[in-house]
Homo-oligomer: A and B are copies of this chain.
């Protein structure tokens, strides 16, 4: 697994928008913030062109901007401006050959999970993290501070108080995951999630309980749960009832579809569509400890590349 080099003061980064349309004010603020970290910031050429009602720009223009930063030797990280929907329309048309010669960090979450899975399929680590569109959200400080520290090479442990529904245990494995809908959306494709021996992190927003259940069933039926090393549940935000109440909590749904396995399960990790949304490194070697007092996710030193 290739680990892109940590950022240094004076490095250049590029902001792209591979998914939903974005607000230019938010990007201006995010740019100033990244500059305050000592970075030079370039903005994708077409991120404000407004030639599609939903996407930040047409597929061709979003591909152009992303490809430009993938190829540009001086760009040391690609910061995805926001999620929404749209990454899967373009990921198969990106050419990662230059990028593989000089890997760089790619950051984002939610719809950007699709990109992380594509990067996992080519064995390059990436950074699941908050996005520029949310840098100025109230209470985003911690998420942004963690992102900065991690881009500059730190690997802080995430510790959370024990949840009574946690399943205790110890897991070692590479981290993978993100938005549950996008994980399921990868099934059958060239960037299908490979969970074997890994610590899987899941979060979601705005889904119905029955859909959440259906997605967990699909993961189980596609054998993506049975060989996990561990499971970490982040935030499940605004989960809704449908015509009939489902009357099962998110935790119970997750436990129900993993009850035949023995790996540890930890809830309430600060990852997802709420603050703080702390970053994690997709593809990094990590250890999950779930005991009576707490659950913690910590990074191991990488001995070799890959």
Residues of chain A whose beta carbon lies under 8 Å from any beta carbon of chain B: 20-21, 52-54, 84-85, 88-89, 92, 185, 187-192, 209-211, 213-214, 217-218, 221-224, 243-247
Distance between Cα atoms of A221 and B121 in the complex (Å): 14
CA of A24 to CA of B227 in the docked complex: distance in angstroms? 42
**Option from B190, B214, B245 in Cβ contact (under 8 Å) with A221:** B190
Q: Is the Cβ of A188 less than 8 Å from the Cβ of B221?
A: yes
**Taking A21-B244, A210-B54, A244-B21 as contacts, is the C-beta distance between A221 and B189 under 8 angstroms?**
yes
Known: A214-B85, A218-B88, A244-B21. A224 touches B54 (CB 8 A): no
Inter-subunit contact A222/B187 (CB<8 Å): yes
Cβ of A211 to closest chain B Cβ, rounded Å: 8
Q: Are A188 and B218 in contact (CB under 8 A)?
A: yes
A interface SS class: loop
Cβ contacts under 8 Å, A54 to chain B: 209-210, 244-247
- Residue on B nearest A19 in the bound complex, by CB: B210
B217 and A88 contacting across the interface, CB-CB below 8 Å: yes
Provide the residues of chain B in CB contact with A53, threshold 8 Å. Answer: 244-247
Enumerate chain B residues within 8 angstroms of A92, measured Cβ to Cβ: 221
- In the complex formed, the residue of B with least CB distance to A20 is B244
CB distance from A294 to the nearest CB of B (A): 33
CA distance A191 to B246 in the complex (A): 25
A221→B92 CA distance, assembly (Å): 8
Q: Is the CB of B218 within 8 A of A185?
A: yes
Smallest CB-CB separation from A92: which chain B residue? B221
Known: A53-B244, A88-B214, A188-B188. 9 other contacts (CB 8 A): A53-B245, A54-B210, A54-B244, A88-B218, A89-B213, A89-B217, A92-B221, A188-B192, A188-B223
Q: Are A218 and B244 in contact (CB under 8 A)?
A: no
